[in-house]
């Protein structure tokens, strides 16, 4: 294990804490899919993302959020200090609910039944 890295408690095994110049941070990632034929629509909707959705993500504690696409596969990466608070905020956000309903016809989303949040991927390796 890296000297400046440490795993977080077992119940959050999909996350990894690492130490940056400002202190301990957590990283998260997910994989989802765009439905075939909707690739350009997915891009368009994110180019025109609602300001209130960006605000909801920030209010949920999310930062350094990026989404990448390879074919139909989407890979999302974000950081937050408290994943439980992030998940709770988004679960109760009217804006997030509207965004999810708007995106549902063009995406395949596999939610973790215990969190109602996309399955989070376990980190395999990290380098600063």
> Any catalytic annotation for residue 119?
no
pTM for the whole thing? 0.80
pLDDT digits (tens, 9 = 90+) for 31-85: 999 999 999 999 999 999 999 999 999 999 999 999 999 999 999 999 999 999 9
Separation CA 10–CA 24 (nearest Å): 17
- Taking domain 29-118, whether its CATH number is 1.20.1300.10 is answered by no
pLDDT digits (tens, 9 = 90+) for 79-102: 999 999 999 999 999 999 999 999
Domain-by-domain residue ranges, the chain? 29-118
DSSP per-residue letters across 25-77:
EEEEEEEEEEPTT-HHHHHHHHHT--HHHHHHHHHTT-EEEEEEEETTEEEEE
């Amino acid at each position: 294990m890296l000297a400046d890295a440490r795993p977080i408690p077992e119940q959050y095994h999909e996350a990894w804490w690492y130490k940056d110049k400002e202190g301990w941070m957590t990283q998260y990632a997910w994989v989802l899919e765009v439905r075939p034929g909707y690739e350009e629509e997915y891009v368009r909707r994110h180019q025109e993302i609602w300001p209130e959705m960006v605000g909801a993500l920030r209010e949920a504690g999310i930062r350094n959020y990026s989404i990448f696409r390879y074919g139909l596969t989407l890979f999302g990466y974000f950081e937050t200090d408290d994943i439980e608070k992030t998940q709770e905020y988004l679960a109760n956000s009217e804006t997030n609910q509207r965004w999810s309903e708007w995106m549902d016809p063009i995406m395949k989303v596999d939610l973790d039944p215990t969190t109602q949040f996309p399955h989070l991927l376990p980190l395999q390796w990290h380098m600063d």
